[in-house]
Amino acid sequence: GDASRAAAGTGGRRGGASLTFSLGDWLRRAGRPRPLPGRLEDGRARAPAPPPAPHLFSDPAEIEALRGNLLAWYDRCKRDLPWRTLVRGVWVSEIMLQQTQVATVIDYYNRWMQKWPTLQALAQASLEEVNELWAGLGYYSRGKRLQEAARKVRWCWGVGGVSKALCSLWVGAGSHLPCLAGAASCWHKATGVVDGNVIRVLCRLRCIGADSSSPPVIDRLWDMANTLVDRSRPGDFNQALMELGATVCVPKAPLCGECPVKQHCRARRRVEKELAFASQKLFGKPDPVPDVEDCGKCVGGCPLCPPATEPWDSSLGVTNFPRKAAKKQPRVVKTATCVLERRGCHGAPEYLIVQRPNSGLLAGLWEFPSLLLAQGLQEEKQQEALADHLQAWMGWPVAAGDLQLIGEVVHIFSHIHQTYVVYSLPLDGDVTLDPASSPSRWVTEEEFHASAVSTAMKKVLGDTWAFPSFPLGSSPQPLRAVPVPGPSCCSALGSLVLPSGAEST
Ligand code: SF4
């Protein structure tokens, strides 16, 4: 996916922290009935854990006040977003909004809803159409899962009507909990919601400084969200909590002064007390004991307080919360890619693109012919490896010297630091490919941009065009194609390619 667009650190979609859940996780936490308080899932009594009070909402009056303040603020200040009123819209938008900013999503959302105005229409779409519309949004499996879910939902609709199980299916479609807020409205169920924005808000409200992606903390946050959710307006309440995280309680510079729930926020209270303490010290007043918001068990190892190794840092203020375990370093990957170009029937350049496998990274998307390179391969060897790859693919000799090095394009996926080493290979004449190899087709520049290609491939083509000393089509040694019967310049399949001077056998 296009993680380069995702916010860094604890930031994420809509400027908020990111957290994804598998379908199994979601079903475990939300789709199945939660055990009664004090009971295990099999009904047996559970030994009560002593509640760390400062991390809880236990005062009914405070809960009521927080609900009222938050909903009043939401009614007054909510953003006018196109997906607010339609449950299906909430579902689509929440999946699009994973790791992606609202401003980016709106155009994709509008085009999606216009193209597939009903679930039935989406269910009948091809994966190719879905990928084409999704191109550039990143995390491409999301679109595929949306479409798969629409097919399953349509089937469920046919046999059993909408049910809570169906709701779970919708929600799980994106390996995230995208539409619980909408589902809560739709099915009038007072169910809390926990996404990246909510995690940030709740961790700050209750000074939760343990790793916010760890299962015990996530479970505690679900409990808290279910406790807080307004019983008469659950959907609005959940939307309001997410909205607060997206617009006020943002990752880096939260607007605490404008926050409708600031009087319930323990992180803010701690900051205020520290400021008061510092000011008293400045004026030489006797040192009061700072009444910090620790739960009193920190020294003994409270599972929700910041770890002893990373205590509260006054310079960070409320942004001490939430905390996440250090991210794994992205895998470094190098790929050689070749822009094969020919002149089309009207003299305009055309490019060869091939389709990636239907699973794995960028599944089903189109790209220029590419080869994953072994670590530490020298440039000369890279070129030879790519030439061998193209040769095996096309079935005819390709000399490494025919490949013109254009440069490198770096693209950051969520877990991969990808460098594309870009080569160009102009071809002379009408060229088609062995139909036994990966699906492939020739496209004009316009068709390329309308195809299901990743942002990285668009960068590759952009860089190829921008290369000043080697305009495409001016290779000193263009490969000569062998003409074959059948449709010519705009066809996708057919013949083989020969280097200039090579003989067909
Ligand atoms: Fe977030 Fe500040 Fe509001 Fe606390 S007071 S919830 S830190 S914006």
DSSP 182-203: HHHHHTT-------HHHHHHHH
pLDDT of residue 14: 42
CA distances from 34 to 55, 102, 181, 297 (A): 21, 32, 17, 28
pLDDT of residue 287: 58
Q: Residue 229 C-alpha to ligand 1 middle, in angstroms?
A: 18
Calculated CA dihedral for residues 213, 215, 221, 223, nearest 10 degrees: 170
Which residues, 6+ apart, have CB-to-CB distance to 267 below 8 Å? 203, 204, 205, 207, 293, 317, 318, 320, 321
Pocket test for ligand 1, best of 268, 270, 293 (most atoms within 8 A of CB): 268
Which pair of tokens denotes residue 389? Answer: 């790859």
Counting Cβ atoms within 10 Å, is residue 469 exposed (0-12), middle (13-18) or buried (19+)? exposed
**Pairing outcome for strands 416-428 and 349-355:** unpaired
Which position has the token pair 């049910």? 163
- Residue bearing the CA closest to ligand 1, atom 4: 265
Q: Residue 197 C-alpha to ligand 1 middle, in angstroms?
A: 12
Q: Residue 235 C-alpha to ligand 1 middle, in angstroms?
A: 21
List pLDDT tens digits, range 145-175.
888 888 877 655 443 344 444 444 444 333 3
Q: Please state the φ and ψ torsions of residue 270, each to the nearest 5 degrees.
A: -65, -40
Q: Which atom of ligand 1 is nearest to the CA of 200?
A: 1
pLDDT of residue 77: 96
CA distances from 462 to 102, 259, 455, 457 (A): 26, 44, 10, 8
Over its length of 505 residues, how does the chain's per-residue pLDDT go in tens digits?
333 333 333 333 343 333 444 444 544 554 445 555 555 666 665 554 554 678 889 899 999 999 999 999 999 999 988 887 777 888 898 889 888 888 999 999 999 999 999 888 999 999 999 999 999 999 888 998 888 888 877 655 443 344 444 444 444 333 334 444 445 444 556 788 888 899 999 999 999 999 999 988 999 999 999 999 999 998 889 989 999 999 999 999 999 999 999 999 999 999 999 888 888 777 776 555 454 455 655 555 688 888 888 888 999 999 999 998 888 888 999 999 999 998 877 778 999 999 998 888 898 999 999 999 998 888 899 999 999 988 887 777 889 999 999 999 999 887 899 999 999 998 875 555 666 777 888 899 999 999 999 999 999 998 766 654 444 444 434 444 433 333 333 332 222 222 333 322 2
Pocket test for ligand 1, best of 200, 261, 269, 321 (most atoms within 8 A of CB): 261
CA distances from 37 to 120, 126, 127, 177 (A): 40, 46, 44, 23
Which pair of tokens denotes residue 140? Answer: 């491409």
Q: Which atom of ligand 1 is nearest to the CA of 201?
A: 6
Q: Which residues line ligand 1 (CB under 6 A)?
A: 201, 204-205, 248-249, 254, 256, 259, 261-262, 265, 267-268, 318
Amino acid symbol at 129: E
pLDDT of residue 355: 92
Q: Own/partner pairs for 79-84, CB < 8 Å, 24+ apart?
A: 79/243, 79/247, 81/106, 82/106, 82/109, 82/110, 82/113, 83/109, 84/239
Active site residues: 94
Q: Residue 208 C-alpha to ligand 1 middle, in angstroms?
A: 13
pLDDT of residue 297: 56
pLDDT of residue 200: 97
Structural contact between residues 342 and 445, judged by C-beta atoms closer than 8 angstroms? no
Structural contact between residues 177 and 194, judged by C-beta atoms closer than 8 angstroms? yes
Q: Please state the φ and ψ torsions of residue 26, each to the nearest 5 degrees.
A: -65, -45
